[in-house]
């Protein structure tokens, strides 16, 4: 029983470390790469594992925790790291980049899995680009 519990905690720490590093990777991507190169990289990202190993709600909870620790507030940074994480664990997800059609320009990025949008802030935004 103790061996199984230690293994469970080891897996949690491994996932948390991976999500933490993906957030750092997304920050560096946005700092040093052009949007075209980031777009190309994200389009080439394939689903790597079969779904079922890790629940996406668990992954999102850990992702939010890592973003809070790192102080990540940029929606595009959050969306890129979540997209890469969900793809790594076998989920077919998409990044949506949306803008407002009002006088004040607002843009936002969100991630969706099976039409469930994560990080979405407003229903008034119109999706102009979908990756995935």
The parent domain of residue 111 ranges over: 2-131
pLDDT in the model for residue 30: 92
Ranges under pLDDT 70 in the chain = 1-7, 50-52
pLDDT in the model for residue 12: 86
User: 0.75 cut: is pTM over it?
Assistant: yes
SS3 at position 45: coil
pLDDT in the model for residue 113: 87
Q: In this structure, what DSSP letter does residue 103 have?
A: S
Q: How many domains in the chain?
A: 1
- Helix, strand, coil percentages (3-state) for the chain, rounded to 5, are 55, 15, 30
């Amino acid at each position: 029983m103790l061996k199984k519990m230690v293994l469970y905690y080891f897996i949690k720490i491994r996932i948390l470390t991976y999500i933490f590093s993906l957030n750092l990777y997304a920050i560096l991507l946005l700092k040093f790469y052009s949007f075209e190169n980031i777009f190309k990289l994200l389009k080439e990202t394939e689903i790597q594992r079969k779904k079922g190993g890790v629940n996406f709600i668990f992954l999102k909870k850990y992702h939010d925790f890592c973003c809070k620790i790192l102080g990540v507030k940029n929606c595009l940074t959050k969306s890129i790291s979540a997209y890469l994480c969900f793809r790594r664990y076998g989920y077919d997800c998409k990044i949506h980049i949306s803008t407002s059609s009002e006088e004040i320009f607002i843009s936002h990025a969100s991630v969706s899995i099976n039409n469930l949008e994560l990080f979405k802030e407003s229903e008034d935004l119109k999706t102009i680009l979908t990756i995935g």
